[in-house]
Amino acid sequence: MGSVAEAWPISHVCIIGGGPVGLISSILFRRHGFQVTVLEKNPTREEVGAGIQLHPNAVRVLQNVGVFERVRKTAIVLPHLLLKAYKTGETLWDQDFIADTKRYGAPLIALHRTSLQACLYEEALAQGVEIRHGVDVKPADVDLENGVLRLSSGEVLHADLYVGADGGRSAVREALTGRAPQPVPHGRVVMRILIEEKEMLARPNLRHYAEDGNMVVWLGPDCQVVTYLLDGTFNIAFTWPWSKNPTDAFMKPQPVDIDAFRAGLVGWHPDLLEMLSLTSGVFQWMFFEPTIDGDEVPWVDNNSRFVLAGDSAHQFLPYLGQGLAMGYESAALLAALLGKAKTSDQVRDGLAIYERMRKERTGLMIRATLRQGRLTQMADGPLQEARDRELRESPLPTAGCPNMMSDPFFQRWMWGFDAEKAADEAWEKYRRSCQSLPEGFVLVPRLRVMLG
Ligand SMILES: Cc1cc2nc3c(=O)[nH]c(=O)nc-3n(C[C@H](O)[C@H](O)[C@H](O)COP(=O)(O)OP(=O)(O)OC[C@H]3O[C@@H](n4cnc5c(N)ncnc54)[C@H](O)[C@@H]3O)c2cc1C
């Protein structure tokens, strides 16, 4: 761990939100020598949630902070991705994740959100992070002018930097942008279904789905089903069409009559129907359109005291399994850049570099995610038949592959990202451009041009 010299402009970082991005941010900032406090609105550690996949770019962040081995103990390493036709069960595409693991030096894993959260929580505490529960920050608490948080309890919290890692309905984002989020339905819901592994193992035709440990994506008409094994549990995420009308939007999970739903799946493969018969008490969540922020939506305030990271800045649909990975990348880049800043000007410029780099990459990733969702959720017909043919008959994945995770160019861009390296390169570029500036030159506007 580095040490913060007295002259450094930031010593205390306050992170609002103790979710996965808030906790990894806290560990990353501690590693750079900052004092860190996390404010979490839940009164206790959250013990809910289904499964999550972490891809090599996310795992790399965990490796770099030294928590991967602990996370790995509760995770399944995914060996293959299979794309299957929803009626016949034919495997249209088989991606070898083990070969990808070798290429990127980090595996693809699946685990319970609660296990991931527990590992990060313990590491944060071990690193000396202060975690305060039951602190629900409201937009009105964010005092941008004075750079403090004025809680409704009357307490005033002072820090040198505040990271808004408070998720998709972020209070910090609302304060920065001056408007409450107005979610627009994406036209899909997701049912999260958990089946005990032993139930799968007891059924001869379902047994291999649990034993193989593969991630399977069933390509359905206007929908998709993702299945994989977690520690002792088989996880199913069923994405299904829903109204796009804003008046039909729901924010809280809704119960689903799974028997009635299953009865409506005429012509579907019997294995899937059997899996759905093994569960009850199913809930569904609504998906909302992701937004791609331009310069008009600030992620940093004018005084360079508040900054957004994770879902508060960039929310994703899960079609490429990249939501949390992007949050981890953002957290790692932010901490690495600010770890280099030694003056207030450098903090301001470091935050501007961060905002610029992350808006660019996450904007492209959001577009890619939407494209992948269209590719895996095609209505039955000539386009779907052409997609299936291309998957079935392509000898080797190449650019434009309908499974974007196999597209070698896109894959390298997605999974090869290393935040620490990116921060080093950006800082070096910045440092060199500073040397060429006349004294008194205002750097931030120029940075926008230079990195754009
Ligand atoms: C169905 C689905 C499946 C997904 N699957 C994957 C996947 O497989 N892989 C992947 O990489 N990503 C996946 N994602 C995306 C991933 O879940 C999110 O990107 C990730 O949870 C974002 O983490 P976060 O910490 O930014 O926000 P959150 O997880 O929302 O955490 C925010 C935290 O802040 C706290 N908080 C909120 N408001 C306040 C406040 N006002 N004051 C104090 N605390 C507050 C909350 O209680 C919470 O603890 C999926 C998303 C969905 C919807």
pLDDT tens digits, one per residue of 187-201: 999 999 999 999 999
Which residue, by CA, sits nearest to atom 14 of ligand 1?
323
What is the pLDDT averaged over residues 292-307? 96
The best mutation among 24, 38, 41 to test binding of ligand 1, ranked by most ligand atoms within 8 Å of the C-beta, falls on 41
- What does the pLDDT look like over 151-207, one tens digit per residue? 999 999 999 999 999 999 999 999 999 999 889 999 999 999 999 999 999 999 999
Centre of ligand 1 to C-alpha 92, Å, is: 32
Token digits of residue 242: 């829903």
At 415 the pLDDT is 98
According to CATH, the topology of domain 185-288 is: D-Amino Acid Oxidase; Chain A, domain 2 (3.30.9)
Please state the pTM of the whole predicted model: 0.94
At 380 the pLDDT is 97
Instruction: Report residue 46's pLDDT band, with 50, 70 and 90 as the boundaries.
Output: low
> E strands within 343-382?
none
Tell me: pLDDT of 394 over 50: yes
Token digits of residue 78: 């995914």
At 1 the pLDDT is 42
At 441 the pLDDT is 56
Closest CA relative to residue 78, chosen from 62, 91, 59: 59
- What does the pLDDT look like over 326-382, one tens digit per residue? 999 999 999 999 999 999 999 999 999 999 999 999 999 999 999 999 999 999 999
Domain assignments of the chain as residue spans, ordered by start: 12-77+107-181+297-378+403-427, 185-288
Centre of ligand 1 to C-alpha 346, Å, is: 30
The best mutation among 15, 21, 55 to test binding of ligand 1, ranked by most ligand atoms within 8 Å of the C-beta, falls on 21
Ligand 1 proximity of 19 Cβ (cutoff 6 Å): yes
Q: How far does CA 54 lie from the centroid of its chain?
A: 9
The best mutation among 59, 324, 415 to test binding of ligand 1, ranked by most ligand atoms within 8 Å of the C-beta, falls on 324
Centre of ligand 1 to C-alpha 317, Å, is: 12
At 337 the pLDDT is 97
DSSP state of 275: H
Ligand 1 proximity of 20 Cβ (cutoff 6 Å): yes
- What does the pLDDT look like over 98-152, one tens digit per residue? 999 999 999 999 999 999 999 999 999 999 999 999 999 999 999 999 999 999 9
Instruction: Report residue 448's pLDDT band, with 50, 70 and 90 as the boundaries.
Output: very low
CATH class given for the domain over 12-77+107-181+297-378+403-427: alpha beta
Taking the alpha carbons at both ends of the chain, their separation in whole angstroms is 33
